């Protein structure tokens, strides 16, 4: 069976910079008509978004889906709270993990899979300033090593 088509809409690189991502989960998004059209055009931002579990349901806050230009009166509020579709046992598992100190849920990416809007959520633990500095130093070292390899290959 062929691998299903995945069209990336939004990516949250900032999440990888600010958090250690321990586990990833995939959830469906509850959207209204014009929001889907806007998503298909790639007009979505999850940089400021966060996820909460309330009364046994999972919601995404701060996820910005720009209003659809041709949507007129049917457009919804761009920062509307969006419900995420999880299985009950996944919600219970996540609730238990979040109860531990320092854990939070962060949206990592929004994409279409087989025509359905999906969101990838990461169970994350916050990084301290020195962790971020270490990550930046590792990236710099890797970049330098790649640069040297290019020079050696040319020479």
The angle at the Cα of 64, spanning 69 to 28, to the nearest 5 degrees, equals 100
Alpha-carbon dihedral sign for residues 140, 142, 146, 151: positive
**2 pLDDT more than 60:** no
Which pairs count as long-range contacts for 55-58, CB under 8 Å and 24+ apart, including other chains?
Answer: 56/88, 56/91, 57/83, 57/91, 58/27, 58/83, 58/84, 58/86, 58/91, 58/94, 58/105, 58/121
Q: Regarding predicted confidence, which is higher, 67 or 120?
A: 120
**Going from the N-terminus, what domains does the chain have, and what CATH number goes with each?**
6-127 (2.40.280.10)
Q: What is the mean pLDDT of the chain?
A: 81
Burial track 72-93 (b if 16+ CB lie within 10 A, e otherwise): eeebbeeeeebebebeeeebee
Q: Regarding predicted confidence, which is higher, 56 or 155?
A: 56
What per-residue confidence (pLDDT) applies to 155? Answer: 61
What per-residue confidence (pLDDT) applies to 65? Answer: 82
Give the ranges where 106-155 is alpha helix by DSSP (H). Answer: 129-154
**17 pLDDT more than 50:** yes
- Cβ–Cβ < 8 Å for 104, 50: yes
Residues 56-115 have pLDDT tens digits of 888 888 888 888 777 676 666 777 888 888 888 888 888 888 887 778 888 988 888 888
126 vs 19, 96, 101, 131, 151, CA distance in Å?
4, 17, 10, 10, 38
């Amino acid at each position: 069976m062929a691998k299903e088509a995945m069209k990336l809409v939004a990516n949250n690189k900032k999440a990888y910079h600010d958090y250690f991502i321990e586990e990833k989960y995939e959830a469906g998004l509850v959207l209204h008509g014009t929001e889907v059209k806007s998503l298909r055009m790639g007009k979505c931002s999850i940089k400021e978004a966060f996820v909460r579990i309330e009364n046994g349901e999972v919601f995404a806050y701060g996820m910005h889906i720009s209003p659809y230009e041709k949507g007129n009166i049917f457009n919804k509020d761009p920062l509307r709270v969006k419900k995420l579709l999880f299985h009950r046992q996944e919600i219970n598992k996540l609730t238990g993990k979040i109860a531990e100190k320092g854990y939070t849920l962060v949206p990592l990416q929004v994409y279409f899979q087989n025509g359905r809007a999906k969101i990838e959520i990461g169970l994350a633990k916050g990084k301290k300033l020195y962790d971020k500095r270490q990550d930046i130093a590792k990236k710099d070292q890797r970049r330098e090593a790649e640069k040297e390899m290019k020079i050696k290959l040319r020479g």
